[in-house]
Chain A
């Protein structure tokens, strides 16, 4: 019979698949990881080696992870949420989705990482930081004999008409950081004037924050506004990309970590939390082509990473611009005044 044969084939496939599953160890930990996969994996492997706790890891974007944690609120599945830009972590803290925890290792961290913890009532903590900026395709720029841009203001130049790409702040934390940065740099009215002018040069608002970096690398666009470490990843891979930390000053993100409220493996979650703040754990990023600045003062900074010393950083007010009310207001204004305008 046809179905019987198919069932036999299916059963063979299933048994092949289940036979390959590894044995389960004693202690367990479920981590939601929101940095790139190739950083997530060695992190979890190193933690398993250091403690013998078996880690189950799911990698997703921050927005998806926050949605998941909200949906699972009544019966949480995850223990630790590791990585990803700080705003969603602050939002989760605001909504009471995450657990308060004061790690003994807080003392080892840079002040900006500790401030992140204080602002959230110790429901989250900074694990790395990355500055905002843009990258441009040097080969295409040379071919068109366009002088290299250095500042936010340069992006308004007519030769960049239709050549700048950034993400949509409605969908991307990166682009929202840019929006809030410009507002903090210039004051709100001037900021929106700038954004309207920039709008004429934008060719596309992408949905993902890292997409413009990739588009610059392939030459799909001349300039892409991203976090600098995303652009470094492209540059190290051999793309003709130059990285710019704008001369007027720029904002930054604080990648964060939180323990999910109601975690089933709370003790293991705390062990992971403490361990992830050590210099040894934070050194793993550099080997995984992640070029952010680690939050542990002793952790080595990858040589390719854009140094904070060389960048004019603004005093970014995460509490104010990360709050749900302010965010909704800014985004609605941006939608109305910038996005809906003609090019």
Chain B
């Protein structure tokens, strides 16, 4: 976007912020008619007006613009915080403007003013020749930075500071005490005691989940992309199933299969006299459930990574006489390192934050995520302890990111260059083909059984007790529709939450994917001061467990100026900022494989950053976009721990409803509702996959006669 156009856009947004948009939420008066008796609005709006005029009149106004618009942003936010509802919250505001004044939360007008300030700051930076003097880059970075600050950094800071607070007083000793507690770090289990610290439990579980899900995902991805299978579509759909499952459901199905009175357990007991135990409750059960749900994510990432490897290097190795096994070990696998590291990292981090499976299957095996939840919502309310545990969890996650960074290192993984990349991928070595088949097929079969149980359970009275009489009861209870003279009535208990969930997921997923990929491009292709800070904050919400995010949001956004608790907006924001890091990481991994010379060629031919992004980078990022879209949509449909405090009477989410059902022991309706969600998500994922499409990077397809080594 040109500098002049951006200036006009900012001025226009500022104008509508003054009139006709209502300044406050829930009122209809525009700012223009409020100014006469609200002097606290003057400084911010004056700065903003000055900035807008400067932008239009003075073309070389970089630093002044940043200072004026930045001041406007800060002043507007401060007055909103200082003068709240019903009265002033800061003493200084009362001293300046008198007591007894109050104002509601920001509405559309105030939001527009903040947007205008953001645009002007970005413009100022671009004119001051920061951000490569490119307005697009400046806009993405500034808008990203401001929204991350408002919706990630501030709420989290607010909650994590609780670690210092004991009975209303601030104390560093208390914080240190909490962080070093034996509950977290104890090693009693090694010395013959009962329980080990919850940090060790979490670490063990997450490591196992990360490694196992990456190995299985690799097997599935290899088989799908290079196994010479005729129908990979079916295979892909089956492999993706666990990804689209609401929490608890895999666990419920595992209990039906392997619980003490489970199907498999009973068969083993009756046929082979194997004693019935409760092995599923604890580490093995949680691990199984997590690997079941993580493998597909690893599969998607590794599959995208494998597809993005241009075959020319493998062909070169083969031409020079390397055998398939050697090509795989010395060319393919090393090129896959970023994707492998990403898959393992995601498995590890998702396991750290997983709340649903440990809740249902954990037994006495406690992990940090459940501890935090019960420290906040349990019989004892201990926000300080919860904050300490959350900091430990955050430390583990950041440690994982650091390790991944070390392992992937600064090497070159670029294989798709601008020099034409014809070729066909190398087939799998025979031994490896056998190995991945031996891993992938049983796993796929197991997944199929787990899902068969879920679907089957929806249509019988009570699968947990083997009451297998066929019934529509659960669906009628949840999804009944009545017809009357006034039209259709959605009478079923589940409709409200289903509609809200679909709405929130459909709005948040494209935003998440779009913003995530843009930021990935920003991080990978541009350099500016503060980039690493921005990158760090981006990853922060992902690292923080959902429960903490939920409490942070409800505390920070329940009062003016940003009062969005109880609305659908808070759910959307939560999902966007929580899931965006996955889009960023996916985009980064994909960008690492696309040569910069393509961007440079585009720039040399006179395209600006926006055009390069639109015409060169985004089309090459298709697999990453698909993954981000699918992930964001699915997460919005299945997340539970983050939203459990954010849902409200009018905006309830499907998962929270299902959790309530599970709590009440109404497992059949929970299973029926889950199966509806699974079918819905399956449809959506397939549509995304079809519409956005897979990458078409190679020009030739594998001809059958070229199957070397088969």
The residues of A with any CB-CB pair to B shorter than 8 Å are 2-3, 5-7, 9-10, 13-14, 16-18, 20-21, 30-31, 36-38, 41, 56-61, 63-64, 66-68, 70-72, 74-75, 77, 87, 91, 169-173, 176, 203-205, 207-208, 210-211, 213-214, 217-221, 230, 233-234, 237-239, 327-328, 331, 340-343
- 21 A-B contacts, Cβ less than 8 Å apart? A3-B514, A10-B507, A10-B509, A16-B499, A21-B499, A31-B649, A37-B493, A37-B664, A41-B493, A61-B660, A75-B559, A203-B278, A204-B364, A210-B664, A211-B665, A219-B260, A219-B261, A221-B260, A234-B665, A238-B462, A327-B380
- Say yes or no for B405: interface residue by CB 8 A criterion: no
A-chain residues with CB within 8 Å of residue B260 when the two chains form the complex: 219-221
Additional pairs, 15, CB under 8 Å, beyond known A13-B506, A219-B260, A327-B379: A37-B493, A56-B649, A60-B644, A61-B663, A66-B377, A67-B376, A68-B554, A71-B558, A74-B558, A170-B374, A171-B378, A205-B364, A220-B255, A237-B462, A341-B194
Cross-chain contact B381 with A57 (CB below 8 angstroms)? no
Alpha-carbon separation in the docked complex, A237 to B645 (Å): 31
Please tell me if the beta carbons of A169 and B663 are within 8 angstroms of each other in the complex.
no
Hey, which chain A residues are within 8 Å of B259, CB to CB?
218, 220
The closest CB in chain B to the CB of A221 belongs to: B260
Asked if A77 contacts B565 (CB within 8 A), the reply is yes
Contact A340 B194 (CB under 8 A): yes
Q: Which of A31, A61, A64 has the most CB of B within 10 A?
A: A64
Bound form: Cα–Cα A170–B183 in Å: 14
Chain B residue contacts of A77, Cβ below 8 A: 558, 565-566, 648
CA of A204 to CA of B255 in the docked complex: distance in angstroms? Answer: 15
Complex: chain A residue closest to B370, CB-CB: A207
Task: Please report B residues at the A interface, Cβ cutoff 8 Å.
Answer: 85, 188, 193-195, 255, 259-261, 278, 281, 359, 363-364, 370, 374, 376-381, 462, 464-465, 467, 490, 493, 495, 499-500, 502-503, 506-507, 509-510, 514, 551, 554-555, 558-559, 563, 565-566, 622, 625, 629, 644-645, 647-650, 652, 656-657, 660-661, 663-667, 687-688, 691-693
The residues of B that contact A17 with a CB separation of less than 8 Å are: 499-500, 502-503
Query: Are A239 and B465 neighbours in the complex by a CB distance under 8 Å?
Result: yes
Contacts of A66 in B (CB 8 A): 377, 381
Contact: B379 with A170, CB < 8 Å?
Answer: yes
Q: Which residue of B lies closest to A203 (CB)?
A: B278
Contacts A60-B660, A218-B464, A220-B260; is A14 near B503 (CB within 8 Å)?
Answer: yes
Give the distance in Å from the alpha carbon of A63 to the alpha carbon of B376 in the complex.
8
Q: A75-B558, A220-B278, A341-B194 given as contacts; is B629 within 8 A of A63 (CB)?
A: no
| Least Cβ–Cβ distance between B197 and chain A, in angstroms | 12
Question: Separation in Å of the B149 CB from the closest CB of chain A?
Answer: 21
Closest 9 CB pairs of A and B: A56-B649, A17-B499, A219-B261, A63-B377, A10-B506, A36-B664, A214-B665, A17-B503, A171-B378
Assess A68 versus B374: contact at CB under 8 Å? Given A210-B664, A218-B259, A218-B464. Answer: no
Provide the residues of chain B in CB contact with A31, threshold 8 Å. Answer: 649
Residues on B with beta carbons closer than 8 Å to the beta carbon of A343: 194
C-alpha gap A208/B664 in the complex (Å): 9
Complex: A107 Cα to B649 Cα, angstroms: 32
Contact yes or no, B363 A238, CB < 8 A: no
**Smallest CB separation, A157 vs chain B (Å):** 20
Please name all residues of chain A whose beta carbon is closer than 8 Å to the beta carbon of B645 when the two chains form the complex. Answer: 64, 67-68, 71
Are the CB atoms of A220 and B261 closer together than 8 Å? Answer: yes
How many angstroms from the CA of A18 to the CA of B507 in the assembled complex?
Answer: 13
The chain B residue sitting closest to A32, CB to CB, is B649
**Nearest-neighbor residue (CB-CB) of B551 within chain A:** A71
Given A170-B379, A331-B380, A72:B565 Cβ within 8 A: yes
B379 and A172 form a contact (CB under 8 A): yes
Which A residues touch B656, using CB under 8 A? Answer: 60
Q: Is the CB of A58 within 8 A of B652?
A: yes
Q: Is there contact, CB below 8 Å, between B554 and A171?
A: no
Closest approach, in angstroms, between the C-beta of A218 and any C-beta of chain B? Answer: 5
Q: Once bound together, how far apart are the Cα atoms of A207 and B379, in whole Å?
A: 10
> Bound state CA distance, A3 and B41, in angstroms?
39
Q: A207 contacts B665, CB within 8 Å? A: no
Query: Do A38 and B666 touch (CB < 8 A)?
Result: yes
Residues of B with C-beta under 8 A to A37: 493, 657, 660-661, 664, 666
Collect the chain B residues with CB atoms within 8 Å of residue A61's CB. 377, 660, 663
Q: Indicate if the CB atoms of A20 and B495 lie closer than 8 Å.
A: yes
Q: How far is the CA of A229 from the CA of B86 in the complex (A)?
A: 44
Complex CA gap A219/B378 in Å reads: 27
The chain B residue with its CB closest to the CB of A18 is B503
Residues in B neighbouring A230, C-beta threshold 8 A:
665
Chain A residues with CB under 8 Å of B664's CB are 36-38, 210
CB of A101, distance to nearest CB on chain B (Å): 21
Residue of B376, B507, B691 near A2 (CB, 8 A) is: B691
Is A170 a contact of B644 with CB atoms below 8 Å? Answer: no
Of A20, A176, A230, chain B has the most CB atoms within 10 Å of the CB of A20
B47 → chain A closest CB, angstroms: 29
Report the bound CA distance from A38 to B278 in whole Å: 31
| Contact A72 to B558, CB < 8 A, known contacts A6-B691, A17-B503, A220-B260 | yes
| A171, B382: Cα distance in complex, Å | 12
Chain B residues lying within 8 Å of A208, measured Cβ to Cβ, are: 663
With both beta carbons as reference points, the residue of chain A lying nearest to B514 in the complex is identified as A3
Q: What chain B residues lie within 8 Å of A91 (beta carbons)?
A: 381
Complex Cα distance, B260 from A169, in Å, reads 24
Distance in angstroms from B595 CB to nearest chain A CB is: 23
> Given known contacts A74-B558, A218-B465, is B506 in contact with A14 (CB within 8 Å)?
yes
Report how far A88 CA is from B647 CA in the complex, Å. 20
Contacts of A207 in B (CB 8 A): 359, 370, 374
Tell me the minimal C-beta distance from B500 to chain A in angstroms: 7
Contact of B510 with A7 in the complex, beta carbons under 8 Å: yes
Please give the distance in Å from B364's CB to the nearest CB on chain A: 6
With A64-B645, A68-B645, A210-B665 already in contact, the answer to whether A13 and B503 are too (CB < 8 A) is yes
Instruction: Name the CB-closest residue of A to B553.
Output: A71
In this complex, the member of B278, B359, B649 whose beta carbon has the largest number of chain A beta carbons within 10 angstroms is B649
Q: Is the CB of A328 within 8 A of B380?
A: yes
Evaluate contact between B666 and A176: CB separation under 8 angstroms: no
* Interchain nearest-CB distance for B402 vs A (Å): 32
Q: Smallest distance from the beta carbon of A212 to chain B beta carbons, Å?
A: 10
Which A residues touch B500, using CB under 8 A?
A: 17
| Residues of B contacting A2 in the complex (Cβ-Cβ under 8 angstroms) | 622, 625, 691-693
How many Å lie between the Cα of A218 and that of B278 in the bound state? 13
Judging by beta carbons under 8 Å apart, are A6 and B374 in contact? no
B364 neighbours in A (Cβ, 8 Å): 204-205
Distance between B137 CB and nearest chain A CB, rounded to angstroms: 21
How close is A340's CB to chain B, nearest CB, in angstroms?
6
B261 touching A204, Cβ below 8 Å: no
In Å, the complex CA distance between A39 and B490 comes to 19
CA–CA, A7 and B194, complex, Å: 54
- Min CB–CB distance A173 → chain B (angstroms): 6
Q: What's the minimum C-beta distance from A34 to chain B, rounded to whole angstroms? A: 10
Residue in A10, A67, A214, A331 whose beta carbon sits within 8 Å of that of B510 in the complex: A10
Q: Do B649 and A64 touch (CB < 8 A)?
A: no
Is there contact, CB below 8 Å, between A170 and B666?
no
| Cross-chain contact B374 with A204 (CB below 8 angstroms) | no
User: Which residue in A169, A204, A205, A341 is a CB contact (below 8 Å) of B278?
Assistant: A204
A9 touches B687 (CB 8 A): yes
Are B465 and A57 closer than 8 Å at their CB atoms? no
Contact A6:B688 (CB < 8 A) given known A13-B503, A172-B379: yes
Chain A positions within 8 Å of B652 at CB level: 58
Q: Which residue of A lies closest to B667 (CB)?
A: A214
A76: nearest chain-B partner, CB-CB: B558
Chain B residues near A220: list those with CB within 8 A. 255, 259-261, 278
- Measured between beta carbons, the chain A residues less than 8 angstroms from B660 are 36-37, 59-61
Given A67-B376, A234-B665, verify A57-B691 contact (CB < 8 Å): no
Closest to A199 in B: B194
A208 to B356, CA, bound (A): 13
What are the residues of chain B within 8 A of A30 when measuring CB–CB? 649
